[in-house]
């Protein structure tokens, strides 16, 4: 028919372009000055008569007034915003962290703005540049990143620019970049898991680790090996399998491990819950009951560990808390580089019963 009603409707003398109520509108409706309206609307402002306050609040309510955050930001020079750079939101680990960020941001009266970086440092650089325009209170980087050394230092430069203009940078997940970090306790978690398994009586673990190398996988393996050595548990050669990071990868690796069963093998540790669940199926397919003859433990306690039977022993990495802590780090400024690491929680379920010795 006619053009967009949202921008049209310019009948003579009736300038009716839709637009939000402004402070001026509220002030006029309440019959006071803009300054007074502004104060009355600010819960922290003291010098306001209660009469004034109610009149203004009334008018604001009637008009559905919401302050213009952009105007507030240009006036005060501060935004109530954190920018989050996330490699891939579909990754459950990232999603869990992001969930924590959103929750904590909401609780702190901040809004969280997101951009995807697709694991590529060059994307991150671009995104940091873009986000700088928003003058967010802080930027939180999560997920993994890969790129050339040149890219990496460009990223650091761009982030340095941002901190020089008063912004805060927080890394959620690993501590490879020189900023405040909320650490995902992979190493510590893996090692606590082995501690617990030792306590339960296990002595001879086999490992299923991802065939593609990553910092995450390395931390897990380092933690396992460190604790195993500490307890004098031996990981036999031939007791480490590499496989794709999927359920079927875990299945094949476990089948393989069981076939050429290392001498005293009494528990299989997988780098992810999905692989561990695959391993459980592999055990069943050769007539073993997970937990009965050989224990099984996963890692991350992300998806489905409690959905299987018996429940899968795993490690809760407190990812949502990592996300929340990132926001808190962003909020509490400091000169020094800080590092928060939560205690991971080993969750013992049916796949690792006490092993009498």
Ranges within 50-69 binding DNA (CB under 7 A): 51-52, 65, 67-68
Q: Which region among 43-51, 235-243, 298-306, 318-326 touches DNA (by CB under 7 A)? A: 43-51
Tally of CB atoms within 10 A around 258: 20
Asked if residue 317 lies in contact with residue 344, where contact means CB atoms within 8 angstroms, the answer is: yes
Could you give the CA distance from residue 23 to residue 273 in angstroms, rounded to a whole number?
54
Give me the DSSP letters along 162-194: HHHTT-EEEEEE---SSSEEEE--HHHHHHHHH
Helix (H, G, I), strand (E, B) or coil at 99: helix
CA proximity to 297, closest of 328, 270, 258 = 270
Please report whether residue 23 would count as binding DNA according to CB under 7 A. Answer: yes
Q: Which region among 39-47, 86-94, 186-194, 226-234 touches a second copy (by CB under 8 A)? A: 86-94
Angle between helices 34-41 and 50-63 (to 10 degrees): 90
- Closer of 74 and 332 to DNA (Cβ): 74
Dmax (CA) of the chain? 92
Report in angstroms how near the CB of residue 228 gets to a second copy at its nearest. 29
When CB distances are held under 5 to 8 angstroms depending on the partner's kind, the choice from a second copy, DNA, none that residue 22 binds is DNA
Asked if residue 108 lies in contact with residue 314, where contact means CB atoms within 8 angstroms, the answer is: no
Please report whether residue 79 would count as binding a second copy according to CB under 8 A. Answer: yes
Please report whether residue 76 would count as binding DNA according to CB under 7 A. Answer: yes
Tally of CB atoms within 10 A around 164: 8
Q: Which region among 40-48, 84-92, 291-299, 330-338 touches DNA (by CB under 7 A)? A: 40-48
CA 302 to chain centre: 12
Q: Which region among 21-29, 112-120, 186-194, 316-324 touches DNA (by CB under 7 A)? A: 21-29
Asked if residue 79 lies in contact with residue 136, where contact means CB atoms within 8 angstroms, the answer is: yes
Q: What is the DSSP letter of 297?
A: E
Please report whether residue 164 would count as binding a second copy according to CB under 8 A. Answer: yes
Please report whether residue 303 would count as binding a second copy according to CB under 8 A. Answer: yes
- Residue among 32, 172, 193, 265 that touches DNA (CB under 7 A): 32
Asked if residue 306 lies in contact with residue 291, where contact means CB atoms within 8 angstroms, the answer is: no
Please report whether residue 35 would count as binding DNA according to CB under 7 A. Answer: yes
* Binding residues for a second copy restricted to 262-291, rule: CB under 8 A: 274, 277-278, 281, 284-285
Q: What is the DSSP letter of 343?
A: P
- The site string for a second copy over 18-37 (x = CB under 8 A, - otherwise) reads xxxx----------------
Please report whether residue 129 would count as binding a second copy according to CB under 8 A. Answer: yes
- Residue among 35, 130, 286, 292 that touches a second copy (CB under 8 A): 130
Instruction: State both tokens at 274.
Output: 């999905």
Asked if residue 301 lies in contact with residue 185, where contact means CB atoms within 8 angstroms, the answer is: no
Residue whose tokens read 């008063």: 166
Q: Which region among 30-38, 64-72, 206-214, 349-357 touches a second copy (by CB under 8 A)? A: 64-72
- Residue among 5, 20, 118, 211 that touches DNA (CB under 7 A): 20
* Binding residues for a second copy restricted to 308-347, rule: CB under 8 A: 308-309, 333-335
Please report whether residue 16 would count as binding DNA according to CB under 7 A. Answer: no
- Closer of 128 and 305 to DNA (Cβ): 128
CA proximity to 320, closest of 311, 331, 330, 328 = 328
Please report whether residue 307 would count as binding a second copy according to CB under 8 A. Answer: yes
Give me the DSSP letters along 212-231: S--HHHHHHHHHHHHHHHHT
- The site string for DNA over 236-275 (x = CB under 7 A, - otherwise) reads ----------------------------------------
What is the total count of residues that contact DNA (CB under 7 A)?
Answer: 29
Summarize as ranges the residues that interact with DNA (CB under 7 A): 19-20, 22-24, 32-36, 38-39, 41-42, 46-49, 51-52, 65, 67-68, 71-72, 74-77
């Amino acid at each position: 028919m006619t053009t967009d009603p949202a921008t049209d409707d310019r009948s003579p003398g009736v300038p009716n372009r839709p637009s939000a109520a402004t402070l001026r509108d509220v002030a006029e409706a309440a019959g006071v000055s803009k300054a007074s309206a502004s104060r009355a609307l600010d819960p922290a402002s003291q010098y306001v008569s209660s009469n004034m306050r109610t009149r203004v609040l009334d008018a604001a309510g009637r008009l559905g007034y919401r302050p213009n955050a952009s105007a507030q930001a240009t006036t005060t020079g501060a935004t109530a915003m954190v920018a989050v750079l996330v490699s891939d939101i579909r990754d459950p680990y990232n999603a869990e962290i992001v969930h924590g960020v959103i929750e904590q941001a909401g609780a702190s009266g901040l809004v969280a703005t997101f951009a995807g970086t697709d694991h590529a440092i060059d994307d991150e650089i671009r995104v940091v540049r873009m986000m700088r325009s928003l003058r967010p209170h802080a930027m939180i980087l999560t997920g993994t990143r890969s790129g050339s050394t040149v890219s990496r230092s460009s990223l650091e430069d761009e982030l340095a620019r941002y901190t020089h203009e008063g912004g805060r940078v927080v890394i959620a997940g690993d501590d490879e970049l020189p900023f405040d970090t909320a650490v995902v306790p992979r190493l510590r978690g893996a090692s606590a898991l082995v501690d617990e398994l030792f306590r339960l009586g296990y002595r001879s673990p086999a490992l299923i680790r991802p065939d593609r190398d990553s910092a995450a996988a390395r931390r897990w393996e380092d933690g396992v090996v460190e604790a195993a050595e500490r307890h004098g548990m031996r990981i036999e050669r031939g007791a480490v399998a590499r496989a794709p990071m999927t359920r079927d990868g875990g299945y094949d690796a476990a089948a393989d491990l069981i076939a050429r069963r290392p001498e005293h093998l009494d528990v299989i540790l997988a780098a992810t819950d999905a692989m561990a669940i695959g391993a459980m199926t592999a055990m069943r397919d050769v007539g073993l009951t997970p937990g009965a003859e050989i224990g099984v433990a996963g890692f991350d306690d992300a998806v489905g560990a409690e959905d299987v039977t018996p429940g899968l022993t795993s490690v809760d990495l407190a990812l949502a808390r990592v996300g929340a802590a990132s926001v808190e780090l962003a909020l509490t400024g400091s000169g020094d580089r800080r590092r928060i690491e939560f205690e991971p929680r080993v969750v013992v379920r049916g796949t690792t019963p006490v092993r009498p010795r």
